[in-house]
Structure 1
Amino acid sequence: MRQGDIMKLHYGATSALALATALMASGAGAVGLDRSNQDITAIFEEGNVLELSFGKVFPELSGKDVAVFGGGEYDNVGEDFLNVSTSAKMDFGNGFSGAVIIDQPFGADIDYPTTALALGGTMAQLDGHTITAVGRYQFNENVSVHAGVRRQTLEGDITLSGAAYGPLNGYSVALEENDATGYLVGVAYEIPEIALRAALTYNSAIEHDFDTVESIPAALQAGLGLPAQVPSTTTVETPESWNLDLQTGIAPDTLAFANFRYAAYEDTLVSPQVFSAATGGASLTNIDDNYQVQVGVGRKFSDMFAAQVAVGFEPEGDERISPLDPTNGKRWISLGGAYNMETVTLSGGIRYTMLGDANPETRNPDGSISDRAEFSDNSAVAIGMSVAYRF
């Protein structure tokens, strides 16, 4: 059997044994607030395909206050979450194809128990979804281009609670649901005979203008002469990013693949009006530009069954870590399999992620930064499955 024949056993809406897609729904294995990595590789599927994917993440993210706050413990500040995506891809003939993808590209679920002094009660939730319409044109069997538009919906709630926040203790902000539009463009090079593909995609930043309500603690109300709640508009930009997806046959029935993603999160600032005035223009978020890499190999064992293994990492970033994301760097391994039944393919797998140690920080009244807690030896488990139907 030729190396390219491994493509005849389908794996859902990615071409490189893309069970990895469902598992990439783990925020415990992604840059910044990423959850789906804005994956659009459904557009490279053969024929017409409908797919539905689920990913469930179970983080274990525990720590304790630094000694000056008494060393009180936080038992798992990361909440379990579910990530769902669906896609529909169709061929239109004459080199044209298109896909519609619905996913949840960004999210956060952090909630500090009120059992410790420094950060007890602090929480952050970010929810939303994106609808992406992408088209592809193949000049020949080797070169193609793709482009599309995204309609993104987001909403969020953040509460700062605990002695570490000083006069901001008890501050909260609600970012009301907002829709905004962005775009993507990309190019791909393929050699079908050896199942080789290199696809590069640029995802634009998307700017949201959130209707905002800030709830102001009494200490700030008195100091700034403010009411208990202040409405305003907060502009937040989700990051521009680049995705590089690679694959090639390396032996009959065996495929090697790699994924690289770079996201420019330093421009993703959340600085509502009152919070900005009280902190000299600081942001509620503190996320570095960063990248992640995953490499793996897939093997087709029969016309009905295939499996994959992959490893990946995200390097450590700036030592300054927000309490709203108390990790620094990640390493993971994933295992998965796919079972093909003529027009239907079932895929499933599991990922184990080791989360990097971190010391969350906040500002002191004089503007300096100090460690407030210590998080170490944490991890997350993600399970994923997908169902693909070809017609």
Structure 2
Amino acid sequence: MKRTFTSIGALLVTAAPVLAGGIERAPQSLAPMFEKGNYVEFSFGGVDPSVSGRDLIPGVDARTGDVAKGYGFAGISYKHQFNDNLSGVFIMEQPFGADIRYDSSSMMLGGTSAKVDSTTYTALLRYKFENNFSVHGGIRGSHAEGEVNLSGLAYGPISGYNVKLDNSWGFGWVAGVAYEIPEIAARVSLTYNSPIEHEFDTHESSAFGTLDDKTKVKTPRSWTLEGQTGIAEDTLLFGSIRWVNWSEFRVRPTMLVVAPPNGFGVDEGLVALEDTTTYTIGVGRKFNDNWSGTVSFLYEPSTGDDMVSPLAPTNGRKAITVAAIYTRDNMKITTGVNYTKLGSADPETGTPDVARARMRDSDAWGVGVRVGYSF
């Protein structure tokens, strides 16, 4: 059972994260670190969200269109076992991203869009003590870029504003501890991800002119508690709790935040997000020597206030992921399908704090595949 289920939670990185809090698409799990021996893994998949609503204009039926665009993702992980106690892991993934576009049919927000791409590289070491405790830590580098357009009646004099954030590197660190009971496939781990600060070369433009400057952006810190344990023969219970400090994520380009007449005086910048806590619980079952399956449930409560940024127009989520795992010799292929019900939200543009649209009945489908090989 332990060989089959050691990294069963890794599927959650592939299929479950869909339009999470803020602009998160994957929870930066370190599951490959716990694989036995040397191990390499490739992952890929796609997500098809549907997020739409209506403008809040009395007497006018203006629709936003489907504002969340589909996306694909890919990743690679490699773990090397140096000796019985020391191992190293390299992980490449795409944890943050956004692709939001409001249709021109929306009078309030038509033309508003956000495109964010990022790739993160993590290199760390793990040292396992004789008492089943272990510690892990390393560095994380992130490459990111983005572009945002603000358009529509809801933005008033700001409508037509555009900002391009050129590609930038930022660096942070990761550290954690774990405890295992191999006899029952039990493990609990706690991992901290530090903030990563980027300094983007920024080009802003509006009806009032252009400005080239620099913008500092800090991706949020997070804590992730993950656990699993055997609860019966060939049956595993697993879950996680993840907290992300989105309130420290701010994008404040110069022209947007400085006071008139040189800027627009929007102090909060492009987005103002609330911290999120995400809960996951699931069960895995081994059917025979080749086939296993899992089902997991995810819950991320809403922040309590439905008014959100138009660039992140959902609030909370509930999800279910079903997966099949095929194992043959040293190879393991995991395929998962996810359905996520996204929370209702009312996009607002601030000053005044008034809802400009109403997003309801949003959801998303995701499919992910992981191919792992031990050697």
Q: TM-score, normalised by structure 1?
A: 0.92
Residue 55 of structure 1 and its aligned partner are, at CA, apart by: 2.4
Greater Cα offset, 374-383 or 271-280: 271-280
Q: Return the alpha-carbon distance in structure 2 between the equivalents of residues 164 and 67 of structure 1.
A: 10
Counterparts in 2 of 1:124 and 1:358: CA distance versus 1, 3 Å: same
Q: Judging changes above 3 Å, is the alpha-carbon distance between structure 1 residues 17 and 232 closer, same or farther for their aligned structure 2 residues?
A: closer
Match of 1:311 in 2: 297
Shift of 1:70: 2.2
Question: Would the aligned equivalents of 1:202 and 1:240 in 2 still touch at CA under 8 Å?
Answer: yes
Does residue 174 of structure 1 match 2:164?
yes
Q: Relative to structure 1, is the Cα distance of residues 141 and 52 closer, same or farther in structure 2, using a 3 angstrom cutoff?
A: farther
2:199 to 198, 206, 209: 209
Give 1:372's aligned residue. Answer: 356
Cα gap change, 1:144/1:274 in structure 2, threshold over 3 Å: closer, same or farther? same
> What letter corresponds to residue 15 of structure 1 in structure 2?
S
* Helix, strand or coil at the partner of 1:371: coil
| Unaligned 5+ runs, structure 1 | 1-5, 222-227
Q: Which runs of 5+ in 2 are unaligned?
A: 259-263
On the 8 A contact 2:124/2:137 being kept in 1, the answer is yes
> What is the RMSD of the two structures over their aligned residues, measured on CA atoms?
1.3
1:117 and 2:107 matched: yes
Partner of 1:369: helix, strand, or coil?
A: coil
Query: What does 1:1-391 correspond to in 2, within 5 Å?
Result: 6-9=1-4, 15-24=7-16, 26-28=17-19, 30-68=20-58, 70-217=60-207, 221=208, 228-277=209-258, 278-317=264-303, 318-363=305-350, 367-391=351-375
Tell me how far 1:141 sits from its aligned partner.
5.0
Aligned mates of 1:375, 1:69 — CA distance in 2: 18
* Range with greater deviation from structure 2 (145-154 or 134-143): 134-143
The number of residues matched between the two structures is: 369
Change (3 A) 1:69 1:99: farther
d(CA) in 2 for partners of 1:147 and 1:212?
Answer: 33
Counterpart of 1:225? none
Question: Identity over the aligned pairs, expressed in percent?
Answer: 41
Deviations, residues 24-81 of structure 1 (Å, cap 9, x unaligned):
3x333x2221112111121111111110011210001110101248230122110000
- C-alpha contact (below 8 Å) 1:114/1:120 kept by paired residues: yes
Residue by residue over 1:105-151, the C-alpha shift from the partner in whole angstroms, topping out at 9 and shown as x without a partner, is 11111011111200001000110101100110001251000001011
Cα deviation, residue 94, structure 1: 4.0
Q: If the length of structure 2 is used for normalisation, what is the TM-score?
A: 0.96
Partner-residue secondary structure (3-state), 2:124 = strand
Counterparts in 2 of 1:71 and 1:60: CA distance versus 1, 3 Å = same
